[in-house]
Structure 1
Amino acid sequence: MAGLNVSVAFFFLVVGVCEALRRISKRLLSPGAYGCLARELAGSLQLCTSCLELRMLVEIGPWGGGFGPDVVLTLFFFLFAIHGASFDGASANPTVSLQEFLLRESNLAATAAKLLAQGAGTGVGWAVTKLYWSWELTPFHLIQNLIASECSSSIRTSPCHAAFVEGTCSFLFHLVLYKLHQSHPMYRVPALAAAVTFLTYTACPKTASPFFEPPLMNPSVPQSSGRRGFWDYVQVYWLGPFAGMLAALLLHRGNIPRLFQKNLLYSRKSKYKVPKARAAARAGGDELRRQRKGEKSSAEPRA
């Protein structure tokens, strides 16, 4: 369990460094620059490094450390809950940023800045994690460095099936986001962490399930010896989650506000229904008032 303790210490170190980065940048930068750049970069860095280390434990832990997936899933739940509580409103997810743009909650410049910051944070996360693995502090990291040269694909099924799995997970993930949007953080954070943990456990055997952070999967790694190529990775880890987000948006809103205003799925109805008898009585009362007003005006003496 010594190797697991080192990984846990790494998780706490990453969260602490990213929290310090958020606080420092919040003091030095304007609110707009902090919200679009620093906050998203720190969130993506924190999420990327944690998930890469967890994925290493998932692949090596059962036979290299003697612990089952329950340990990793428990770590994943608590880590995602910590991320949700410490992100300070950052999404650290390109599909969520694009969703905000389609909902007219963010303009084009802010969305582009968020996507660039998320990409930069993920790139830094990859570099930091690989450097950390190169130190070989535990047997897990030694094994990881030995098998890294094989570049085994994370897609363990056909690209179409894998894209469907990622799209379905993204669809359910965004529906949960919509449902919990107005909830108190005390309830929203653990509920979202539980949903993401369940979806990850369900889809991980097929696609490694990075639907909550597509840049985690590097599409440029395996391209030879019959392994998955660039376009397979784009189809599975980018188009799949994006299609799932669009489907969830259409189901939730019935339209895409950025593209068109007409509701395609739902007809607008009055929020309050008036019983027919009450509506008839109200119409009769209005007619009686009009008659009385007409009689009063006709009874007034002419000048």
Structure 2
Amino acid sequence: MAGLNVSITFFSLVVALCQALRWLSKWLLSPGAYSCLARELAGSLQLCMSCLELRMLVEIGLWGGGFGPDVVLTLLFLLFAVHGISFDGASANPTISVQEFLLLESNLATAVAKLLAEGVGTGLGWALTKLYWSWELTQLHFIQNLISSECSSSIHTSLHHAAFVEGACSFFFHLVLLKLQQSHPVYRVPTLAATVTFLTYTAGPFTGAFFNPALATAATFHCSGNSFWDYVQVYWLGPLAGMLAALLLYQGNIPRLFQRNLLYSQKSKYRIPRARVTLQVEGDKPQQRKKGEKNTTKPHA
């Protein structure tokens, strides 16, 4: 269990480092630069380093560390709960940034800046984690260094099925995210963490269950077994299609592309009052008929 204790210490240090980076960036940068650059970079760095270490525990810990999947799933839930609390509103996921753009919550420049920050954050996280593994603090890291240069693909099923799995994971994740976007963090954070844990447990054996294009790029694109285009179809196009399907199902439309609701008819919430019946009297002046008054006008000859 010594290796597990080292990994838990690593998780704690990563969260503390990225939190310090967020505090420093908020102090030095303008609110706009912080929200679309520094915050996303820190969140992606934290997510990438944590998930790479956790993935190492999944692949090696079962036979090299003597602990089962229940330990890893518990760590996964706790990590995503901590991420939800500490991210300060960052998505650290390109599909969420694209979703915000399609919902008119950000403009094109902001969306592109977030995507670039997420790419830089995940790339930096991959490099720092590889450096940390090279120190070989535990036997698990020693084994990881031996096999890292010859890693195999995370796709353990047919290409079409793998793309469907990643798309389905992204669909359910974004559907829950859209449903809980206005909820209090006390409910939103553990629900999202539980959703990620369930999807990882269900879909992990097939594709690794990334449903995050930036994270998948850092974790598996360099591994042999599939071509670059295969990885793009599964880990980029699959999650993007799942996000679009969730957005269309939840909204009924995609605001950035079209305003018309394709799925749901929108009824007006305002009632139109009925017009009162009026009588036409001499001088063509309208006169309101009183309640209970009979019509005494006679037809003209």
Partner of 1:127: 127
Shift of 1:84: 0.4
1:81 aligns with 2:81: yes
Alpha-carbon separation, structure 2, partners of 1:255 and 1:243: 14
Partner of 2:47: 47
State, as a whole percentage, how many aligned pairs show the same letter: 72
Partner of 2:67: 67
Alpha-carbon separation, structure 1, partners of 2:52 and 2:132: 11
The answer to whether the 8 Å contact 2:213/2:239 transfers is no
The answer to whether the 8 Å contact 1:104/1:258 transfers is yes
The answer to whether the 8 Å contact 2:213/2:236 transfers is no
Structure 2 counterpart of 1:255, from 253, 256, 269: 253
Structure 1 runs, 4 residues or longer, greater than 4 Å off: none
Higher helix content, 1 or 2: 1
The answer to whether the 8 Å contact 1:61/1:68 transfers is yes
CA RMSD across the alignment: 1.8
The answer to whether the 8 Å contact 2:102/2:256 transfers is yes
Alpha-carbon separation, structure 2, partners of 1:4 and 1:181: 34
Shift of 1:247: 0.3
1:295 aligns with 2:264: no
Partner of 2:25: 25
Partner of 2:223: 222
Shift of 1:212: 3.9
The answer to whether the 8 Å contact 1:92/1:213 transfers is no
Structure-to-structure mapping, 1:203-222, within 5 angstroms: 203-212=203-212, 214-218=214-218, 220-222=221-223
Q: Which amino acid aligns with 1:229?
A: S
Partner of 1:34: 34
The answer to whether the 8 Å contact 1:84/1:189 transfers is yes
Partner of 1:175: 175
Alpha-carbon separation, structure 2, partners of 1:63 and 1:271: 61
The answer to whether the 8 Å contact 1:122/1:216 transfers is no
Partner of 1:265: 263
Shift of 1:213: 5.2
More moved, 207-216 vs 98-107: 207-216
Stretches of structure 1 lacking an aligned partner (at least 5 in a row): 298-303
Alpha-carbon separation, structure 1, partners of 2:36 and 2:78: 26
The TM-score, its normalising length taken from structure 1, stands at: 0.90
Alpha-carbon separation, structure 1, partners of 2:126 and 2:146: 17
The TM-score, its normalising length taken from structure 2, stands at: 0.90
Shift of 1:96: 0.2
Stretches of structure 2 lacking an aligned partner (at least 5 in a row): 290-301
Q: Which amino acid aligns with 2:245?
A: A
More moved, 27-36 vs 142-151: 142-151
Shift of 1:254: 1.0
Shift of 1:220: 4.2
Partner of 2:241: 243
**Relative to 1, partners in 2 of residues 1:75 and 1:213: Cα closer, same or farther, differing over 3 Å?**
farther
Superimposed CA distance per residue, residues 194-239 of structure 1 (whole angstroms, 9 cap, x where no aligned partner)? 011100111100001111454333464135xxx2110110011000
The answer to whether the 8 Å contact 1:49/1:128 transfers is yes
1:162 aligns with 2:162: yes
The answer to whether the 8 Å contact 1:167/1:243 transfers is yes
Partner of 2:108: 108
Q: Which amino acid aligns with 2:210?
A: P
1:189 aligns with 2:189: yes
The answer to whether the 8 Å contact 2:212/2:235 transfers is no
Q: Which amino acid aligns with 1:250?
A: L
Partner of 2:296: none
Residue 183 of structure 2: SS of its match in structure 1?
Answer: coil
